[in-house]
Amino acid sequence: MEGFRSLPSVHRLADALDGRYRGLAVTAAREAVEAARERARRGEPVGDLEGDARRRLAAALGSGPVRALNATGVIVHTGLGRAPLAELAVEAAARAGRHYSNLELDLERGGRGSRQEHVEGLLLELTGAEAALAVNNNAAAVLLAATALAAGRQVVVSRGQLIEIGGSFRLPDVVAQSGAELVEVGTTNRTRLADYERALGPDTAAILRAHPSNFRVVGFTEDVPVEDLCRLGMPVIDDLGSGAIAEGLPELADEPAVPRSVRAGCAVVCFSGDKLLGGSQAGIMVGRAEVVDACRSHPLARAVRIDKLSLAALAATLCLYRDPELAKDEIPVLRMLSAPRAELEARAQLMRERVARAGGKAGVVEAAAKVGGGALPLLELSGPVCAVESGGDGVDELARRLRSGDPPVIGRVREGRLLLDPRTLTDEEARRAADAVVAAFR
Ligand SMILES: *Cc1c(COP(=O)(O)O)cnc(C)c1O
């Protein structure tokens, strides 16, 4: 019964924890003392009581997503939160969250302003559009555009573009939800201008074009360039998915560029804020003034409004795009896309050496990663990665142990080895990932 007497009081233990969260600290301390008492009753060692209380408090305060190390090489990884933000964007979101701001206040007139003013000018400058609107995400942008333009009438879509994006975003369902009737034209692999022309009639309200973000049809294919579609004289809703606005990045050459669709005369162009743009979750709509205004004033716009943290981060990200070189250096997604081979090689070697020094078996091999997030499905970003031999318990067990670590490390398994891709890790993260591998071997 020695263990009982040496247990500290709940309040003394709580004093040793973070004083800002007193109530939760007392609860954590009480649970830790009770667990220790239970162990003492069974004649087991009481263990590190303060450490246990500290862990319980951290768990009580941290039930949101935990930080993870992305060693998959997939840059826009939906499971891991898509795009990490630029530092400027992180600071902007923290400021918007911590303090009051002029979110919807016109400081000059003292009257009510619009939250859209914080991004509108930037979006016009970067895309050449007449008007712009940011909403909650791109799925909401497409739904809003179809509803505002075509509810009760017809929307024409190519059969080659009746796509499903991850997370059950299916184009036919979105059109149905908007209250418009879907008119399919062409075939899976070929749709011509004449197919569209034949389908247009008095009930047609818009043509919807959707980027096949996460797949490609190859071989005997044909589709209609956006310029030709716009010449049909019908409003074109262009869902670009990722929507690239960065200039001079060869890796993005196959992504449809937002300015091109705007120049072609699309009624409204929709794209995500947190895919290849590298910003916060948002749906961005740019296009002709009367069309964007119709979207802005539709009742659904309020239901899909962008929140202030996302808006602040998006505005900061867009600011960086005003200088293409700055964007490439500061926006993590663009930096990872264009990371020089020498940098990747050095980081892969760093991981290999750290694992090898601790007695593990690892090498540096060439492997190809994907962009992810339903973008550029054919682009393989090949480069050096650290390949770890799994040892006796097998590679799936190694991957499981890494996933359950603190922080979790997510790699990819290939041919019985665990690959740690340096493209989606910083130097510091690569060190931690390698150390996690070493710990998992013990
Ligand atoms: C990703 C994507 C969407 C959905 O965008 P979210 O921002 O995830 O809502 C819609 N359309 C296309 C073509 C996409 O690639």
Over the stretch 263-314, which tens digit does the pLDDT of each residue have?
A: 999 999 999 999 999 999 999 999 999 999 999 999 999 999 999 999 999 9
Distance 259 CA to ligand 1 centre (A): 18
What is the Cα 272 distance to its own chain's centre? 9
Decide: helix, strand or coil at residue 70: strand
Decide: helix, strand or coil at residue 372: strand
Looking at residue 365, its pLDDT comes to 97
Number of domains composing the chain? 3
Decide: helix, strand or coil at residue 225: coil
User: Please, are residues 175 and 220 in contact by the beta-carbon 8 Å criterion?
Assistant: no
Shared domain check, 156 and 17: no
Looking at residue 319, its pLDDT comes to 98
Nearest CA to ligand 1 atom 7: 138
Q: What mean pLDDT is reported for the chain?
A: 93
Residue 342: both structure tokens together: 């020498």
In a mutational test of the pocket of ligand 1, which residue from 144, 165, 306 has the highest number of ligand atoms less than 8 Å from its CB?
165
Give dist(CA 423, CA 420) in Å, integer: 9
Shared domain check, 347 and 286: no
Q: What is the mean pLDDT of residues 56-80?
A: 90
Looking at residue 5, its pLDDT comes to 61
- CATH number of the domain that residue 346 is part of: 3.90.1150.180
User: Please, are residues 172 and 143 in contact by the beta-carbon 8 Å criterion?
Assistant: no
Shared domain check, 97 and 200: yes
Distance 262 CA to ligand 1 centre (A): 18
User: Which atom of ligand 1 lies nearest, measured to the CA of 374?
Assistant: 15
Looking at residue 2, its pLDDT comes to 47
Q: Quote the domain boundaries for residue 374.
A: 69-78+335-441
Write the CA distances from 345 to 326, 339, 382, 409, 420, integer angstroms.
24, 10, 12, 20, 12
User: Which atom of ligand 1 lies nearest, measured to the CA of 139?
Assistant: 9
Distance 334 CA to ligand 1 centre (A): 19
Give dist(CA 125, CA 322) in Å, integer: 8
Shared domain check, 310 and 341: no
Shared domain check, 339 and 314: no
Q: What is the mean pLDDT of residues 318-339?
A: 96
Shared domain check, 319 and 267: yes
Distance 274 CA to ligand 1 centre (A): 10
Distance 138 CA to ligand 1 centre (A): 5
Residue 111 DSSP code: S
Shared domain check, 401 and 279: no
Percent of the chain at pLDDT above 70?
97
Shared domain check, 134 and 20: no
Query: What does the buried/exposed string (b/e) look like for 42-72 if buried means 16 or more CB atoms within 10 Å of the residue's CB?
Result: eeeebeebeebbbebbeeeeeeeeeebbbbb
Q: What is the mean pLDDT of residues 148-162?
A: 97
Give dist(CA 380, CA 87) in Å, integer: 27
- CATH number of the domain that residue 239 is part of: 3.40.640.10
Shared domain check, 256 and 135: yes
In a mutational test of the pocket of ligand 1, which residue from 271, 272, 314, 371 has the highest number of ligand atoms less than 8 Å from its CB?
272
Residues composing the chain? 442
Q: What is the mean pLDDT of residues 408-430?
A: 96
Nearest CA to ligand 1 atom 13: 241
Shared domain check, 231 and 148: yes
Looking at residue 146, its pLDDT comes to 98
Q: pTM (2 decimals)? A: 0.91
361-388, pLDDT tens digit by residue? 999 999 987 767 666 666 778 999 999 9
User: Which atom of ligand 1 lies nearest, measured to the CA of 171?
Assistant: 11
Looking at residue 1, its pLDDT comes to 44
Looking at residue 376, its pLDDT comes to 67
Give dist(CA 371, CA 55) in Å, integer: 36
Nearest CA to ligand 1 atom 12: 241
Distance 383 CA to ligand 1 centre (A): 28
Write the CA distances from 310 to 57, 95, 117, 317, integer angstroms.
29, 12, 14, 10
Per DSSP, what are the bridge partners of residue 49? Answer: none
Question: How many helices (DSSP H) and strands (DSSP E) are in the chain?
Answer: 19, 15
Nearest CA to ligand 1 atom 2: 241
Looking at residue 231, its pLDDT comes to 98
81-131, pLDDT tens digit by residue? 999 999 999 999 999 999 999 999 999 999 999 999 999 999 999 999 999
Shared domain check, 315 and 361: no
Of residues 103 and 218, more confidence is placed in: 103
Shared domain check, 420 and 284: no
Within 6 A (CB) of ligand 1 lie 137-139, 142, 165, 169, 210-211, 213, 239, 241, 272, 283, 374
